[in-house]
Amino acid sequence: MSLEDAKTQIDHAFTRDDLKGASFENTFGGAPSFLRRRYTKDLTGVDVAVTGVPFDQAVTNRPGTRFGPRGIREASALQSPDAPFGWGYNVLEEFAIADYGDLAFDYAKVSDFPEALKSHIAGILAQDTATVTLGGDHYITLPILEAYAEKYGPLSLLQFDAHSDTWVDDDMDRIDHGTFLYKAVKLGLVDPSRSVQVGIRTDNPDTLGFNIIDAREMQRMGPEAVAEEICEILKDYPTYLTFDIDCLDPAFAPGTGTPVWGGPSSADIAAILRNIAGIELMGGDVVEVSPPFDTSGATAIAGAHVATEILSLWGWTRRG
């Protein structure tokens, strides 16, 4: 960290004059944008827009993920001075990344929310800018996938999760974080045969054809072998990555709505994410971080690290 820079930098979310490079602002002060990126609605020259979706009205258990984007942004200040560890390149130096702020929506008109989010993401993609979204509960991935599929066609999906989220739900008007992926398949947004779910540890007999590496299989294989299998399934297909923070064992991420024991450690997930470098990642999200259920802040810290890894994965195939 540059001590001289730390003496003078403050509120880089508003005062920085570029979209690349580290920020040496004191981690405990200033406005908390994601990784101290500049807040802007002008996407001219922006490679990736980080945006928040503070929505948690589709949960089946504990709410609180509406505070996830704010918590993840605050936690990310710890990472803003340094290159992401172990990548051999710095995505913050090589790519223009902006904090696009949060989605605005009427909390009292939940039925209008899906279209509002889809339009929000589609507007970013229309400017040839990728997205990394901070949730919010896992329902938000469905409108995001709709926007991505309209631009790129059906995608492969890489899902880290304790739950498959493919429970049967043929009522397309229902807004439920546990059925979003069933609907995504039925709508033709993702191709299960070239997609993979990682960390599953709840029973759901209807897999819809997804490749699954469940939590016990992860433990048996080890992170390097898991990463190899993920890459073999995804190959060079355009892929969207969605990371439900409850994929992590509750010992590492207690601040979430539907925690399930027996999951992977943060160290294992870090190794897997680094070792899948080379997948053709189009965008991603981190969901289900619920700060009210974690006074330590560890879950938001994990969410911030995952979002940074998604940025690094996106940039890996586009370097130079």
47 is annotated as contributing to ligand binding: no
Q: What is the pLDDT of residues 20-76, one digit of tens each?
A: 999 999 989 999 999 999 999 999 999 999 999 999 999 999 999 999 999 999 999
Say if CB 76 and CB 304 are below 8 A apart: yes
pLDDT at res. 312:
98
Residue position matching structure tokens 């570029």 = 18
Burial class (CB in 10 A: 0-12, 13-18, 19+), 198: buried
CA 288, 126, 99, 158 torsion: positive or negative? positive
163 is annotated as contributing to ligand binding: yes
Q: Which domain holds residue 295?
A: 3-316
Mean pLDDT score across all residues of the chain? 96
pTM of the entire structure? Answer: 0.97
Tell me how far CA of residue 187 lies from CA of 131, 158, 172, 203, in angstroms: 21, 17, 10, 23
pLDDT at res. 7:
86
Q: What is the pLDDT of residues 154-204, one digit of tens each?
A: 999 999 999 999 999 889 899 999 999 999 999 999 999 999 999 999 999
Cα 79 from Cα 83, distance rounded (Å)? 8
Under the banding of pLDDT at 50, 70 and 90, the label for residue 3 is low
Query: What is the three-class DSSP state of 118?
Result: helix
DSSP state of 159: E
> How many domains, in total, are found in the chain?
1
18 is annotated as contributing to ligand binding: no
| CATH code assigned at 160 | 3.40.800.10
246 is annotated as contributing to ligand binding: yes
Q: What is the pLDDT of residues 221-277, one digit of tens each?
A: 999 999 999 999 999 999 999 999 999 999 999 999 999 999 999 999 999 999 999
Proportion of the chain above pLDDT 90, given as a percent: 94
203 is annotated as contributing to ligand binding: no
pLDDT at res. 265:
98
pLDDT at res. 239:
98
305 is annotated as contributing to ligand binding: no
